[in-house]
Amino acid sequence: MTITIGDRIPSVTLTKVTADGPDQISSDDYFAGRKVAVFSVPGAYTPTCSARHLPGYVDKIDALKAKGVDEIACTAVNDAFVLKAWSKDSGADAITMLADGSADFVTALGLTMDASKFGMGTRGQRFSMLVNDGVVEQLNVEAPGEFKVSAAEYLLDEI
């Protein structure tokens, strides 16, 4: 079942990328007591993710925070070391990277996709959401092959 607006984020373990290395954190703890804009990319270093998706959120950090967002997080079915390198290479230090290496988070959300034809296996769909104290307030899931509703500009307009 796919998560919907008004649902609580499922309880899973994520790996938060930090300067000191990977840090295991429960989704319950991560989302508690604050407003987080989360976006999911199919993979670090992939074309649309690197050229448009991540840079859009980097460009809109201040605008999102002006609308009450406490933190902006990117999640991908990649390991924490790949996400750390991608963040550094992309100048995205202000974006929290949440590694979902085994696809536990996107599976619990019901937002997986099969990217086997590209040699990537199970990945997260491209989406954005606004989570307030663990509850989904806004959810934007892309149609396959598209990049519109998960963009930073779209989420910003929805808040």
Hey, which residues are catalytic here? 49
Q: Are 5 and 136 spatial neighbours (Cβ–Cβ below 8 Å)?
A: yes
Hey, what are 64's tokens?
Answer: 């999102």
Contacts of 114 (CB under 8 A, 6+ apart): 121, 122, 123
| Residue 145 CA from chain centroid, whole number | 17
Distance, CA of 98 to CA of 16 (rounded, Å): 5
Amino acid in the structure at residue 101 = G
What length is written for the chain? 159
Q: Are 40 and 124 spatial neighbours (Cβ–Cβ below 8 Å)?
A: yes
